[in-house]
Structures are given as structure tokens and as C-alpha cells.
Amino acid sequence: MVGLSTALAAITSGPDRGRYSPVMARRCARPDCSQGARTTLAYEYETSTVWLAPLSDEAHPMTHDLCEAHADRMSVPRGWQLRDRRDVVPLPLFGDNALAS
């Protein structure tokens, strides 16, 4: 069984690096969806965790690419947890753009 760190490390290194063409546009892995991929999904059985992250630089057979709509509607089996690590816009804490309290 492969852990999440191994799967995510394999995306950017190892013997599969360069095997997948970065020129080709990646599509959502959901059947009948023709939208472009925006998110990478990975899972780790040991901790019953599903991870959503920004689209990885390269496709990998141990992860799945999803469009934004399918990633937003993602649900996991009972007993599993979903960890969404997609980019979040940070709020400014100081300066002219800071939120007034």
C-alpha cells in the first residue's frame, strides 16, 4: 500500500517524471466531463483521508484530476475525512486593504 507522501512525491520525481506530456491539456477524470482539470485528488487509506490540492504539475496514475465543479461537490465515504488544500486567498492583515473591525 502506498502512502500519500509517496504518491505526492511520485508526482514530481521518480521514474515516471516526464512520462506524461505537460503540453497536453488535462481533463477532468469524471466520466462524460470535458472540462479542464483544476484540482488534483489523492487519497491515503491508512488515515482514511482524501486530499484536494491545486492541480499538480504533472499527471500521475495514483492521483485523479478534477475540474473545479466536481472538486467543489466532492464527498467522501462515511468515516473518511476530506482535506481541501486548494489555494485560499489570504486576507490582508495590515495596510490600506486590511479589513476594518
Question: Which tens digits make up the pLDDT trace of 11-61?
Answer: 444 444 444 444 468 999 999 999 999 999 999 999 999 999 999 998 889
Q: How many domains does the chain have?
A: 1
80-87 mean pLDDT: 91
Angle at 17 between CA 13 and CA 18, to 5 degrees: 150
Sheet holding 39-44, edge to edge: 64-66, 39-44, 49-54, 81-84
59-85 mean pLDDT: 94
What range defines the domain where residue 41 resides? 29-84
The residue that leads in pLDDT, 8 or 66, is: 66
90, part of any domain: no
101, part of any domain: no
- Contact between 28 and 66 under an 8 Å Cβ cutoff? The reply is yes
